[in-house]
Structure 1
Amino acid sequence: MVFEIVAPTIKKIYYIKVNDMLSYLLVKRICKIVIEEADHDIAWKILGSAITTAVNSGAHELIEECILTYPGIIWYDVGGFYLFLAAIKQRQERVYNLVYQMSGHKVYAATQLDDEDNENALHLAAKLAPPHRLDVVTGAALQMQRELQWFQEVEKLVEPSYKQALNKNGKTPRMLFTDAHKDLLKEGREWIKNTASSCTVVAALIVTMAFAAAFTVPGGNQDDGKPLFVNRKTFLLFVVSDAVALFSSSTSVMMFLGILTSGFAETDFLNALPKRLTIGLLSLFMSIAATMIAFSSVLALVLQGKVTWIAAPLVIATSIPVYLFGVLEFPLLVELVNSTYGRSVFHKQNARRLH
């Protein structure tokens, strides 16, 4: 049964790897044929057209092979921009990282100005990304975070004077960023508010239940006030899980309230709001899991030695809410952790002999 589930996935990965290798060999062969023609115009036209398409689709391997075959192609005009600037405009981080390692081209391209609009590289980073590149992350809040990460990355690269440079409309890069992203900022505020509001309701309910359960212990109390099942290990599990549920749900409520009372400034979407949402979702997941464990332990205490045949199915059924929450919210949680705490999208890649 397990092999029937795993085998198709392994087979699919295998075919993807084979197709990647065949594509690489085909590109390498085409580049070799183009160079063997020993005609600058042909090489410039064919390879230039190839890297233009590659920049738009983010195929950095194709760009790397073209540059290795014909280094001069790095200066090809891609839609009015050099390769480095085109990568910024198209928000292709892998192409950006690849060209970033070629220091000479990076420095020269970053100092160029667009004669028509009098804009530098930071102005390009301040403009809104193409729709298909915005959709690589979930939700307007994470999209805003990705745009801020791009602007911050390019800001480190350009000369200090470029940060206050004015384009033909008299706008600095920061002013242009604010103007271009005002609609996305509004959508981000609504998205994160709605998410926090919904989760706050669930977390508050768990706080109420966990607090009430602490004073209504299963089985009642003895004459001296001690719980009836105090000496059983299952009761200890109930106490611990109920305490975890109470503390984690309280933490979750505090994080979501921190989001709802935030000023929602542009810079808040870079770190502050994603961190609060990440901690809030993690705490909420822990509280749901702990609540289900507490409920299972109560069932085990109450039904022990009575209706044993129904206890096991009920305990197993309590894992369903935890599973559903994981399936529905785990992808978002992974994106939040990767984009906020994970490795930056701007990192050194394994490029072959590119300097």
Structure 2
Amino acid sequence: MRPAWSWVSEEAGGREEACGDKESAHTFDENGRNILQIVVEKKHLFLHDYLMSAVIHKDRMLSDIDFEGNCIIHLAASLGSPPSTPSGVLLQMMWDVLWFKRVKYDSYPYFWELQNSSGKTALQVLEENHETLRKDAEKTTKELANCTLIVSVLIATINFAAVFTVPGGFEQKSGNSVYLMNKHWEFFLLMFYLAGGLFAALFTMGTLLSIIFLRFDTEDFYAALPWNAPV
């Protein structure tokens, strides 16, 4: 019996042949893993999408368990990203969690809490494998947040000062703004933009402070941080 990994290139080479090839779903490597499991562990996006869409025995491959009791979600929790992933611990952590979530929702729900031979679920394996990477990504995120916070404070300070420093000065007798007396519409438009900039800066400061002072969980890199992190 040929190693399972040798079938990957053949599966990608001929779509029609792969769709009808029953042997591909029953071929395993020395660890008892089929082609789809190996592709998931290697995090090869193109081959994963191809096997999920073209091979008729994908249900069988999704349900296989290797010799160590790992299902396909356990293998998706491995550390490492494909070469096409941009460099940086933060992006790598985000990509790994995204890959784990994608494979998880493509698999069967009863695998979500399945324990391997070591008594660990897939999520526990993910957290264990990515503990160091998560800490490095958390540190990087907080450093970026600190730098962005300085800029936000500067913008808020400038906008706050500009609200009380109206261009054109004030009329000496009445004390009214010269700009307000001569250009009403432009004055209110200016105040609107200054207030909007001040509000946006304050909102950004609050978001950045929450990133700086909160402790991150592994799954935060899937949705919360990609939307809030200053990258």
Instruction: Indicate whether the TM-score tops 0.5.
Output: yes
Provide, for residues 47-71 of structure 1, a one-character-per-residue CA deviation record: whole Å limited to 9, x for no partner: x85834xxxxxxxxx8544232454
Shift of 1:194: 0.4
Q: Tell me if the contact between 2:7 and 2:24 (Cα under 8 Å) persists in the aligned partners.
A: no
Residues 103 and 128 of structure 1, relative CA distance in 2, 3 Å threshold: same
Q: 1:246 aligns with which of 192, 198, 203?
A: 198
Aligned residue for 1:127? 78
Aligned residue for 1:323? none
Aligned residue for 2:226? 274
Cα distance in structure 1, aligned partners of 2:54 and 2:29: 17
Q: Tell me if the contact between 1:67 and 1:74 (Cα under 8 Å) persists in the aligned partners.
A: no
- What is the SS of the residue equivalent to 1:118? coil
Cα distance in structure 2, aligned partners of 1:138 and 1:209: 35
Residues 227 and 88 of structure 1, relative CA distance in 2, 3 Å threshold: same
Residues 138 and 255 of structure 1, relative CA distance in 2, 3 Å threshold: farther
Identity percentage of aligned residues: 24
- Mapping 1:13-28, distance limit 5 Å: none
Q: Tell me if the contact between 1:89 and 1:129 (Cα under 8 Å) persists in the aligned partners.
A: no
- Mapping 1:1-355, distance limit 5 Å: 49=6, 51-52=8-9, 63-69=11-17, 71-72=20-21, 74-75=24-25, 81-102=33-54, 104-115=56-67, 117-130=68-81, 132-133=82-83, 136-137=85-86, 139-222=88-171, 223-230=173-180, 231-232=182-183, 235-277=187-229, 281=230, 332=231
Provide, for residues 88-118 of structure 1, a one-character-per-residue CA deviation record: whole Å limited to 9, x for no partner: 1121223222222247422101111112x22
Aligned AA (1:216): T
Cα distance in structure 1, aligned partners of 2:7 and 2:110: 35
Residues 158 and 69 of structure 1, relative CA distance in 2, 3 Å threshold: closer
Shift of 1:79: 8.1
Q: Give the structure-1-normalised TM-score.
A: 0.55
Residues 49 and 267 of structure 1, relative CA distance in 2, 3 Å threshold: closer
Q: Tell me if the contact between 2:76 and 2:103 (Cα under 8 Å) persists in the aligned partners.
A: yes
Q: Tell me if the contact between 1:211 and 1:246 (Cα under 8 Å) persists in the aligned partners.
A: yes
Shift of 1:183: 0.9
- What is the SS of the residue equivalent to 2:177? coil
Shift of 1:236: 5.0
Aligned AA (1:68): E
Q: Which runs of 5+ in 1 are unaligned?
A: 1-40, 53-61, 282-331, 333-355
Shift of 1:240: 3.3
Q: Tell me if the contact between 1:139 and 1:191 (Cα under 8 Å) persists in the aligned partners.
A: no
Shift of 1:78: 7.0
* More helix, by proportion: 1
Q: Tell me if the contact between 1:165 and 1:173 (Cα under 8 Å) persists in the aligned partners.
A: yes
Q: Tell me if the contact between 1:51 and 1:66 (Cα under 8 Å) persists in the aligned partners.
A: no
Residues 49 and 103 of structure 1, relative CA distance in 2, 3 Å threshold: closer
Shift of 1:227: 1.5
Shift of 1:143: 2.5
